[in-house]
Structure 1
Amino acid sequence: MEVGIITAIIVGGLAGWIAEKLMKSDMGLLANIGLGIVGALFANILLGLIGFSLGGVLGYLIAGILGACLIIFIARKVRKPSA
């Protein structure tokens, strides 16, 4: 089952918002939507590499949260500490 564009925006925004709260980050609505959508794509690719697949809207939400948290974690490690 593929997720439609409107559903992707809504679920991606929710996933990004949840990841933002879990990771104690501070972003806006557009960043949350983008992070959730990109996070879901990223997580689905990584999960596919190990032979695991999440389907449907709930699977997209879970993948979005996991992927967004992972992206935030990586961004924090890559970003140079401010002095």
Structure 2
Amino acid sequence: MSIIGTIIVGFVVGLLARALKPGNDRMGIILTTLLGIAGAFLASFVGQAMGWYRANEPAGWIASVIGAIVLLVIVAMFRRPRNRMY
């Protein structure tokens, strides 16, 4: 897959992960895309290494979304809450 295709898939996976994960994630579109790409790579590597699925199977999409959700939870644990005065 090309770099543009990977970015598009990462964007879609990141949006799906943010929609499925409860809570308010205050992050921009670039961080959402980067987390989606990282989640897709992480899930692809782990799933194929464990023999759960092969490349280009629908389970890869599901695993990519789960991987992105895991990364969203990890990022949320390490982010500081911002104190804003309104």
* 1:21 matched residue in structure 2: 19
Percent of pairs identical after alignment? 31
Figure out how many residues of one structure are paired with residues of the other and give that number. 81
Does the 8 Å contact 1:12/1:61 carry over to 2? no
- Counterparts of 1:44 and 1:78, CA distance in 2: 24
SS in 1 for 2:26: coil
Does the 8 Å contact 1:39/1:66 carry over to 2? yes
* 2:73 matched residue in structure 1: 73
Does the 8 Å contact 1:16/1:33 carry over to 2? yes
Q: 1:4 to 1:62 in 2, by over 3 A?
A: farther
RMSD of the TM alignment (CA)? 2.6
Amino acid at match of 1:56: N
Q: Which 5+ residue runs of structure 2 have no aligned equivalent?
A: none
- Counterparts of 1:67 and 1:31, CA distance in 2: 15
- Counterparts of 2:80 and 2:68, CA distance in 1: 20
Does the 8 Å contact 2:48/2:55 carry over to 1? no
- TM-score, with structure 2 as normaliser: 0.70
CA offset at residue 5 of structure 1?
A: 1.0
- TM-score, with structure 1 as normaliser: 0.72
Does the 8 Å contact 1:35/1:68 carry over to 2? yes
Q: Which 5+ residue runs of structure 1 have no aligned equivalent?
A: none
Q: 1:5 to 1:63 in 2, by over 3 A?
A: farther
